[in-house]
Amino acid sequence: MTTAQIPGHSDQPLAMAYDTALLDLDGVVYAGAAAIDHAVEALDAARSGGMRLAYVTNNASRPPRVVAEHLTSLGVPAEPADVINSAQAAARLVAEKVPAGSKVLVIGGAGLVEALAERGLVAVESLADGPAAVVQGFDPSVGWARLAEASYAVAAGLPWVASNLDMTVPTARGIAPGNGTLVAAVRVATGVEPEVAGKPLPPMHRETVLRTGAKRPLVVGDRLDTDIEGAHNGGVDSLLVFTGVTTPAQLLTAPLPHRPTYLAADLRGLLEPHPEVTALPDGGFACRGVRAGVLDGELRLDGASSAGDRFDGLRALCAAAWAALDRDGEPVDGRKALAELGF
């Protein structure tokens, strides 16, 4: 099914229709140290129903073992093998570029160090140590001195791999700068572009498939430009949840690669069928009792007040907004319609 011009539908709960959920972590399962509302119960139910849960994150700062321990402490039982991070994808890329046993300059945390060791590579902290490549990933402790060391090494011509380019990370206190902002500092200083391993690019999808063996995977995330685009690039279906950075208004203006197959308020969307959105003869779209269309340059709703689920209205609005965007090349105003749905 993958991404489309109309949100997808499933007569079965998604946890039954797909064999493996490839779950993003930050903004989906947890924010900072705390679990997202309903995440623990929803994941327990999905697992009990036979769905495999794999945790796929662009955050390269923590080793899989530490992430699994964190998940388990929140009530989401996990083993290190259940966690796939961008550090692992980055380490595979580096290993394909340098001889076995090479030294690699690490700008990041323990997650990168362990991922390199898994590939037989040796992490070092200085250009003076004779590294053969540079790998950079998010870690809250990275400061000016580490970014300067990366800049010196990249300017010297060493291959440079970035775990990901997420510009922000959700925390318990709000949205904070992510690895993409730190990579940008080195890019500006050197004029060099890194090779990127993480979502939405193919190395991360390759790493995930190799490690999980998923046959019918469903990507679950909160970001359009990483999780959903990554699913699009991998040719697999996706579920967008609104517990992280994406807002309904942003979804209405999403280009094709950023359009999820399914959408839900939170991870309880794994446990539900997803209703069909149908095209109407007048050019509008309907989802159960809600109809949406474009009139005088604005998205309009009909039947929203009687809808049992405001996400039915959002699904219909997405279909109408995406059709107009594809046809006219410009987004339509959806503010009033979203307000009617309580968004």
Task: Pick the catalytic residue from 24, 222, 225, 227.
Answer: 24
**What is the distance between the alpha carbons of residues 219 and 236, in angstroms, rounded to a whole number?**
7
Instruction: Give me the residues paired with residue 286 across strands.
Output: 278, 291
CA gap 24, 128 in Å, rounded: 37
**Which residues are bridge partners to 262 per DSSP?**
239
Which residue carries 């030294």 as its tokens?
103
Contact 179, 162 (CB under 8 A): yes
Q: Give yes or no: 11 in active site.
A: no
Does the annotation count 24 as an active-site position? Answer: yes
Neighbouring residues of 201: CB distance < 8 A, sequence distance ≥ 6: 230, 233
Q: Can you tell me the distance from the alpha carbon of 226 to that of 99, in angstroms, rounded to the nearest whole number?
A: 30
Q: Is-cis flag, bond preceding 200, omega within 30?
A: yes
Tokens of 183: 């990579």
Q: Which two tokens stand for residue 72?
A: 């388990």
Q: What is the rounded end-to-end Cα distance, in angstroms, of the chain?
A: 27
Question: Can you tell me the distance from the alpha carbon of 75 to that of 41, in angstroms, rounded to the nearest whole number?
Answer: 9
| Residues whose CB falls within 8 Å of the CB of residue 176, separated by 6 or more in sequence, listed in order | 168, 169, 170
Tally the residues of the chain.
Answer: 343
Output DSSP code: residue 288: T
11, 26, 44, 312: the catalytic one is: 26
Determine the Cα angle at 61 with ends 261 and 101, to 5°.
Answer: 110
Q: How far is CA 153 from CA 71, 187, 199, 203, 309, in A?
A: 36, 12, 25, 23, 54
What are the catalytic residues? 24, 26
